[in-house]
């Protein structure tokens, strides 16, 4: 019964998103992991926040004492849906041996939108003081995973689903930098993903080992095509970077097929 159910859910999910993803339009969000409150304030207001981040006059810029690249925090006029953003004017290049780019921050948000992930805050390309970079909405109130005491750490099914989604996303974008400072958690237990400047390298490697995938998200990933990715991400990624996303997606599919053979559909597809 269960394997049949998951197979049916997978097929239906696939058809539901195939047209949308192939046309490069934004997929509707997946079922939220928990009620939408707190720091995921961008959900349903993405277009408005994108415009604000692109156009708002920056009133002041402050340094942040945490992190490796020491991004800055830029403040705009208070009273709107966002009053500040992380400012990352990282020109594409190699830094400390890692390839990085502000464009990867924007690409992570756009890909999140395309597959309806709902975990990456709104990010846009803009200029501040003549410099081109990524403006990523500042999410608040949140805590970094690494600052949580053991007893404060979320657990349970909804949490595990979020981790599963994060791992699938990190494999798709080849993100090897998901350290505990790049996981933000709000009071409702929403997992919020930041810091993608090192992602989208042209590698076929899958950085995260996995034994399960979330069926609805996998259906959306499975429906991605060169056309849909180019329509959504062509402004911030090269054709080679886009092809790499599909190469990794196809490797994920091979791994999933092998897992299904070994463990059965019901053990591999959840959600």
Ligand X SMILES: Nc1ncnc2c1ncn2[C@@H]1O[C@H](COP(=O)(O)OP(=O)(O)O)[C@@H](O)[C@H]1O
Residues that bind Mg ion (CB under 5 A): 67, 181-182, 195
Query: Does residue 136 interact with ligand X by CB under 6 A?
Result: yes
**Rounded least distance, CB 252 to ligand X, Å:** 25
Compare residues 112 and 214 and give the one whose CB is closer to ligand X: 112
Query: Does residue 64 interact with ligand X by CB under 6 A?
Result: yes
Of 20-28, 135-143, 161-169, 231-239: span binding ligand X (CB under 6 A): 135-143
**Rounded least distance, CB 139 to Mg ion, Å:** 14
- The packing angle between helices 102-114 and 157-173, to 10°, is 120
**Rounded least distance, CB 158 to ligand X, Å:** 22
**Rounded least distance, CB 67 to Mg ion, Å:** 5
Burial class from Cβ neighbours inside 10 Å (0-12, 13-18, 19+) for residue 44 reads: exposed
Burial class from Cβ neighbours inside 10 Å (0-12, 13-18, 19+) for residue 96 reads: exposed
The contact pattern for ligand X, residues 200-239, with x = CB under 6 A and - = no contact, is: ----------------------------------------
Compare residues 84 and 182 and give the one whose CB is closer to Mg ion: 182
Query: Does residue 66 interact with ligand X by CB under 6 A?
Result: yes
- Bridge partners, 124 (sequence order): 135
Q: Which of 24, 181, 207, 234 binds ligand X (CB under 6 A)?
A: 181
Residue 139 interacting partner from ligand X, Mg ion, none (CB closer than 5 to 8 Å by kind): ligand X
125-164 burial, b at 16+ Cβ within 10 Å, e below that, comes to bbeeeeeebbbbbbbeebeebeeeeeeeebeeeebebbeb
Compare residues 40 and 198 and give the one whose CB is closer to Mg ion: 198
Structure tokens at 268: 């591999």
Antiparallel, parallel or unpaired: β 183-185 and 98-100: unpaired
CA distance 21 to 35: 26
Q: What are phi and psi of 4, to 5 degrees?
A: -65, -40
- Bridge partners, 133 (sequence order): 126
**Rounded least distance, CB 199 to ligand X, Å:** 12
Note the residues at the interface with ligand X (CB under 6 A): 64, 66-71, 86, 121, 136, 138-139, 142, 144, 181-182, 194-195
């Amino acid at each position: 019964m269960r394997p049949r159910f998951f197979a049916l859910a997978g097929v239906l999910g696939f058809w539901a998103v195939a047209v949308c993803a192939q046309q490069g339009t934004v997929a509707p969000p997946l079922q939220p992991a928990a009620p939408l409150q707190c720091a995921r304030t961008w959900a349903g207001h993405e277009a408005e926040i994108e415009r604000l981040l692109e156009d708002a006059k920056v009133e002041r810029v402050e340094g942040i004492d945490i992190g490796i690249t020491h991004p800055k925090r830029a403040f705009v006029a208070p009273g709107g849906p966002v009053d500040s953003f992380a400012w990352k004017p990282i020109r594409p290049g190699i830094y400390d041996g890692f390839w990085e780019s502000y464009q990867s921050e924007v690409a992570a948000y756009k890909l999140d939108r395309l597959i309806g992930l709902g975990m990456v805050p709104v990010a846009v390309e803009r200029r501040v003081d003549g410099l081109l970079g990524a403006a990523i909405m500042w999410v608040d109130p949140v805590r970094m995973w690494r600052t949580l005491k053991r007893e404060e750490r979320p657990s349970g099914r909804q949490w595990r689903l979020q981790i599963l989604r994060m791992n699938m996303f990190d494999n798709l974008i080849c993100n090897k930098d998901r350290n505990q400072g790049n996981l933000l958690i709000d009071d409702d237990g929403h997992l919020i993903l930041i810091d993608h400047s090192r992602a989208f390298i042209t590698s076929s490697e899958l950085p995260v080992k996995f034994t399960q995938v979330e069926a609805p998200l996998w259906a959306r990933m499975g429906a991605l095509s060169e056309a849909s990715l180019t329509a959504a991400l062509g402004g911030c990624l090269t054709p080679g970077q886009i092809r790499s996303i599909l190469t990794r997606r196809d490797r994920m599919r091979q791994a999933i097929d092998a897992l299904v053979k070994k463990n059965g559909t019901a053990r591999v597809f959840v959600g």
